[in-house]
Amino acid sequence: MWILAHRGASKQAPENTRKAFRLAMEQQATGIEFDTYQVENEIIVIHDRRLERTTNGHGQINNSSLEYLRSLDAGEGEQIPFLTDALGCLPADAMCNIEIKSLYDIPRWLQCLDASLQHIAMPRDNIIVSSFNHRWLKRIHQLEPDLKLGALTSSYPEEGVEFARKLNAYSVHVSLDVVDEELVRMAKAEGLQILVFTVDDPLDMQMLRDWGVDGIFTNVPDEARRVLL
């Protein structure tokens, strides 16, 4: 069962920072998940639309220059990572789930992904691109049919499974609040991997393992390893 560190090892280090990603790898997570925005032809790693919660900056990501974003403290002296920085924290055999929170130009977004991958040893096959915005995933699939895609879904998981099946996606990513054993069976019957977010309680980890879930997103990868492996 995959253990994907949600925003890195984000219980012990500032979320979506290099520190959190490196710690997750030290704790032997299978890989990491992080959130991204497209700004001036770069892919920036941060969760919220606004800067206040996780940095010492102010305003919206989409109205910020790269220079300003680079100047901010994202916690414990860490900079907001760009995609290349985040991927650079991972060994070649780690999995990486890039969640798209916002983008404005899909061809450029894909070029940026390619450019980042050229700097690192990680194979393209270890990347899963996910989003709650299924229109973007559909367009990405048209442009790059070989890229692994994960359909994120929170309220209507059956629709997520149906969309993922039609898209020929790699996986469906379902909230812990709505997953049940039948949904796991349904996803697997369609040949999809099913990954569940966000799972920090050992009892939930064990339950999902018993249901045959393929992986979890967790803020506590060290705890997940103790429970699951």
Write down the residue that tokens 């941060």 correspond to: 46
Known active-site residue 58: no
We find the least distance from the C-beta atom of residue 185 to Ca ion, in angstroms, to be 25
Nearest Cα neighbor of 2 from 126, 121, 151 is 126
Nearest Cα neighbor of 97 from 134, 129, 124 is 129
3 state DSSP class of 165 = helix
Check if the beta carbon of residue 19 is closer than 8 Å to that of residue 13: yes
Nearer to ligand G3P, 71 or 163 (CB): 163
Q: Per CB under 6 A, does 217 bind ligand G3P? A: yes
Nearer to Ca ion, 35 or 42 (CB): 35
Q: Per CB under 6 A, does 197 bind ligand G3P? A: yes
Applying CB under 6 A, among 15, 35, 42, 222 the residue interacting with ligand G3P is 35
Q: Which stretch binds Ca ion (CB under 5 A): 31-39, 51-59, 67-75, 109-117?
A: 31-39
Residues between 123 and 162 with contacts to ligand G3P, criterion CB under 6 A: 130, 152
Applying CB under 6 A, among 2, 6, 148, 215 the residue interacting with ligand G3P is 6
Applying CB under 5 A, among 89, 99, 134, 179 the residue interacting with Ca ion is 99
Known active-site residue 6: yes
Nearest Cα neighbor of 51 from 31, 71, 33 is 71
Q: Per CB under 5 A, does 15 bind Ca ion? A: no
- In Å, what is the CA distance from 8 to each residue of 3, 84, 163, 168, 187? 11, 15, 28, 28, 26
Q: Per CB under 6 A, does 173 bind ligand G3P? A: yes
Applying CB under 5 A, among 4, 10, 35, 90 the residue interacting with Ca ion is 35
Q: What is the DSSP string of 36-87?
A: EEEETTEEEE-SSSBSTTTSS--SBGGGS-HHHHHHS--STTPPPPBHHHHH
- Report the interhelical angle of 134-143 vs 157-167 (nearest 10°): 10
We find the least distance from the C-beta atom of residue 218 to ligand G3P, in angstroms, to be 10
Tell me how long the chain is.
Answer: 229
- Can you read off the two tokens belonging to residue 219? 């803020």
Size of the site for Ca ion (CB under 5 A): 2
Residue 53-92 contact track with ligand G3P, rule CB under 6 A, x = bound: ----------------------------------------
Q: Where on the chain is the footprint of ligand G3P (CB under 6 A)?
A: 6, 33, 35, 47, 99, 130, 152, 173, 197, 217
Catalytic residue list: 6, 47
List contacts with Ca ion (CB under 5 A).
Answer: 35, 99
